[in-house]
Structure 1
């Protein structure tokens, strides 16, 4: 199957530098899993004889199941940035679930998984060793993804209408810059704010306010990297901030650098 998907690198900080250190490909799920899985992703690198590389990611509102040698885990949403040390030779295969896509498998409030990770045994009651070996032993990407798919299909849950609704709301927040407040998202969905907040806590693990802010910060980081942010006031307004000081504060709180410092780091 030719399943490669051309999604953007939003959330990967200083993505151009990372492209020189590792390869990243994304692959669409089968129709059977399309209601639960956003895509599969595969990262491979060969830095033998080179300095290790640290890749920082501004995470999305998604759970990821990551198959890695002796370290297979299911990662909840991280509200801060995450940094991965890439060194030597290796690779990982990941399953990125839709924002509400992991809840039907786990049947536990996703807020219990926010800022933490669990083992395959904790989530599915199985040890990860054999499955990890079967997936990572393939030189070709296609059979590795097919094995990961078969694992989920064997445990396929029933469709969940609430999960489908939340996935649609998150997709709208992601794609529509005009949504800058929870009230905007709730109005668009025809839903009470408190109802939306409860559903997000259960199915996603973070608040709708957090999701809106995170997607706007993704856009900010991408604009900075592309050199498109020349007017701080205008960028702040476009991202839903009342003034640039609030935008700069939020950016620094999450990325640990001000926008100016981030730009200097890109040039360095």
Structure 2
């Protein structure tokens, strides 16, 4: 199984019938796109794949038509049946905003036909992508489509992408006021920028990063000291971590680790 980063739940279970791989974008596209991801599956019985998503918008080339997925603030669940594949474009946090003309918060927890943002040509491109001979050719066709449609650079989008990176990489930032102070903006400015560019608030981004760490620790297969981890991640106690994890994933962390 390839590495799509944190958030894919039950990775060992899925490895039996789901192939994942990622591809870096070219230098011109990399200002906007974090990476391309390809998923191919072959299941005898329907299977639900589950993802603790990140603060990113995705363009997905899939049947019956390509879709834009806003930030899913819950648990993303996709039902896989038979054989199939999709190719996704994972935009950097904040960097889908220059394509839209709308607040990215308006896309949260939604999927929208990609033609709304990229015009009808994206539908034919989707067919070409899914007919391609392999992941590398699929990525090449998607990038050929994006290149002439790249918007002008948006320095605010770049700034917001850096803010998200700083927050998710800083376990010592537990509260929005701490994050705002570290980023040298007011709380109100931080919240406004995240609504406009990211699609989820800074509190959600910090909480989701902590849950990614908890799930990653559980996936390693080692015994986890949940009380110590809760302290490391800034929770007031172990029960708070358990409540947060259970609400997001659907099972307590210790049970998830045993599954």
TM class by smaller structure: over 0.9
Of 33, 45, 56, 2:50 maps to 56
**Structure 1 portions without partners, runs of 5+:** 1-5
Q: Which residue of 1 aligns with 2:230?
A: 236
Is contact 1:10-1:218 (8 Å) kept? yes
1:252 is paired with a residue whose SS is helix
* Separation of aligned partners in 2, 1:186 and 1:7: 31
Of 4, 8, 12, 1:12 maps to 8
Q: Does 1:135 align with 2:121?
A: no
Of 235-244 and 7-16, deviating more is 7-16
Is contact 1:62-1:77 (8 Å) kept? yes
Alignment root-mean-square deviation, CA: 1.5
Q: Which residue of 2 aligns with 1:41?
A: 37
Q: Does 1:161 align with 2:155?
A: yes
Of 222-231 and 164-173, deviating more is 222-231
Greater strand content: 2
1:157 is paired with a residue whose SS is coil
Of 170, 173, 190, 2:184 maps to 190
* Separation of aligned partners in 2, 1:123 and 1:8: 25
What do the CA deviations read for 1:185-224 (whole angstroms, capped 9, x no partner)? 2222111111111000000011001000001100101111
What do the CA deviations read for 1:142-175 (whole angstroms, capped 9, x no partner)? 2211111122212111111111011011111222
What do the CA deviations read for 1:91-134 (whole angstroms, capped 9, x no partner)? 10000000111100112100100000111222223254311111
Aligned length: 258
Q: Does 1:25 align with 2:55?
A: no
* Separation of aligned partners in 2, 1:107 and 1:71: 22
**Structure 2 portions without partners, runs of 5+:** none
Shift of 1:232: 1.8
Q: TM-score, with normalisation over the residues of structure 1?
A: 0.91
